[in-house]
Amino acid sequence: MARKKVVLAYSGGLDTSVCVKWLQEKYDVDVITLTLDIGQPKDFAEVEKRAIQTGAIRHYTIDVKKEFIENYVFPAIKANALYEGKYPITASLSRPLIASKLVEVARKEGAVAVAHGCTGKGNDQVRFEVTIKSLAPDLEVIAPVREWGMTRDQEIEYALKHGIPVSPEKSPYSVDENLWGRSIECGVLEYPEVEPPEEVFEWTVPPEKAPDQPEYVEIEFFEGVPVTVNGEEMNGVSLIKKLNEVAGKHGVGRIDHMEDRLVGIKSREVYECPAATVLLEAHKDLEKAVLTRHEVMFKELIDAEWTRLVYYGLWTEPLRQDLEGFIEKTQKRVCGKVRVKLYKGGLRVVGRSSPYSLYDYNLATYEVSSTFDQSLAKGFIELWGLPTRVANEVMRKARSQPRP
């Protein structure tokens, strides 16, 4: 009788390497490992070699960079996705993609379960498991790290006992990377009062060491999607790589904030998101030029809810798709160019143009050629302020009346 199979999301690190052996021992199963290339700097051949050496019967490496950018990052740009106003949900966006590939491989292999290496304190466990259960309710989901309760030292001891290679150098930081950004946790970063040491950053230079001359970048959007940088047409993967490099060179994209995790913990988070920082700022500015005031104000509510749903692990929630119906409709007019100035860790939008721009020079100018009829302002002010004036008059009269 064939042994049951489990598909494990595998990074090649200590946790998921120990997971392979632990799953085999506890559940008496064959383990198949899966690694996705989402733009992280890994030697995927070495990851596969390590997985097989650790005991996996088969390993999959799947390049999903294009799918990640087009199906996850582009919708996030259209939604101006910044969780709590600061975090471009870089890791959050990748989790439903990983979960969907776990399900695909499980179906292909006839597996009865999938597994991940998340702890019980983070958000990722929720993102993986809600998505997996939505796509394949019959699959069991196993979370070894959440179950075994081992400390890192105990994991190392377990690894050595089972012949699992252990890196001699232990970084105090936990890092998650993909094309959209880099998340750094642990070590001294767990003390919110301490400035992040320079050693945690890899994509951005210290602002004080950035070039002394500013650099201008022009980004063109078509229906909410970035399509060119400085006039050069690029696919999504190349465009984001380019902006990570250019903005990072100027120290743009460092984020340090207090974040409310889904599980209820207040957490200090540090991110590097050069391309995301530039693109989200440019996209939002272009929207303000082409959408009406009412659309802009209402879309802020829609964007915030879309972002919360994704951060909270509810990618498969029907409401996300409902919200995207509105978002996609607004993006038909988000076409045009935005000029951004990068300098010493900061960025500013310094120009924008669009065939759909609602800016009318003849109305806005203060020159005598203006077509705006200023005589209309007097009547507008009378009507606009009427409810407020009436309310204040009523309150004054009420206060002046003696109490009965």
Considering the candidates 15, 30, 285, 303, report the single residue annotated as catalytic: 15
Considering the candidates 58, 134, 174, 256, report the single residue annotated as catalytic: 174
213 and 65 assigned to the same domain:
no
Considering the candidates 17, 50, 92, 95, report the single residue annotated as catalytic: 95
149 and 12 assigned to the same domain:
yes
For residue 40, CA distances in Å to 52, 58, 101, 178, 222 come to 21, 22, 17, 5, 27
CATH of the domain at 53: 3.40.50.620
Contact 357, 336 (CB under 8 A): yes
Contact 54, 164 (CB under 8 A): yes
Give tens-digit pLDDT for 183-240: 999 999 999 999 999 999 999 999 999 999 999 999 999 999 999 999 999 999 999 9
Altogether, the residues listed in the chain come to a count of: 404
Position 113 pLDDT exceeds 90: yes
250 and 341 assigned to the same domain:
yes
Mark out the alpha helices in 268-337 (DSSP H runs): 274-290, 293-311, 318-331
Residue 252's pLDDT is what? 98
- Residue 30 falls inside a structural domain: yes
CATH of the domain at 184: 3.90.1260.10
126 and 203 assigned to the same domain:
no
Can you tell me the distance from the alpha carbon of 2 to that of 7, in angstroms, rounded to the nearest whole number?
A: 16
- Residue 345 falls inside a structural domain: yes
Give tens-digit pLDDT for 131-163: 999 999 999 999 999 999 888 888 888 988 988
Domain termination residue (choose one: 121, 145, 170): 170
Contact 317, 96 (CB under 8 A): no
190 and 337 assigned to the same domain:
yes
Position 85 pLDDT exceeds 90: yes
Give tens-digit pLDDT for 33-55: 999 999 998 899 999 999 999 99
- Residue 317 falls inside a structural domain: no
Q: Is 30 a catalytic residue?
A: no
Domain count along the chain: 3
Contact 313, 127 (CB under 8 A): yes
- Residue 117 falls inside a structural domain: yes
Angle formed at CA 323 by CA 317 and CA 324, multiple of 5 degrees? 100
20 and 88 assigned to the same domain:
yes
Residue 13's pLDDT is what? 87
61 and 14 assigned to the same domain:
yes
93 and 155 assigned to the same domain:
yes
- Residue 316 falls inside a structural domain: no
90 and 215 assigned to the same domain:
no
What is the residue range of 230's domain?
Answer: 175-291+333-353
Phi, psi of 287 (to 5 degrees): -60, -40
**Which DSSP helix (H) or strand (E) runs through 159?**
helix 152-161
Give me 366's structure tokens: 């203060």
Q: Is 124 a catalytic residue?
A: yes
Contact 357, 377 (CB under 8 A): no
Give tens-digit pLDDT for 13-31: 889 999 999 999 999 999 9
Residue 6, strand partner residues: 31, 113
* Local structure of residue 226 (DSSP, 8 states): E
Closest CA to 9 of 98, 136, 142: 98
Q: Is 171 a catalytic residue?
A: no
276 and 237 assigned to the same domain:
yes
- Residue 313 falls inside a structural domain: no
- Residue 256 falls inside a structural domain: yes
Choice among 83-92, 161-170, 255-264, 282-291 with the minimum mean pLDDT? 161-170
Can you tell me the distance from the alpha carbon of 132 to that of 136, in angstroms, rounded to the nearest whole number?
A: 6
100 and 182 assigned to the same domain:
no
71 and 157 assigned to the same domain:
yes
Considering the candidates 11, 92, 100, 124, report the single residue annotated as catalytic: 124
Domain termination residue (choose one: 128, 144, 170): 170
Q: Is 256 a catalytic residue?
A: no
- Residue 307 falls inside a structural domain: no
> How many other CB atoms sit within 10 Å of the CB of residue 300?
13
Domain termination residue (choose one: 148, 170, 192): 170
Model-level pTM? 0.94
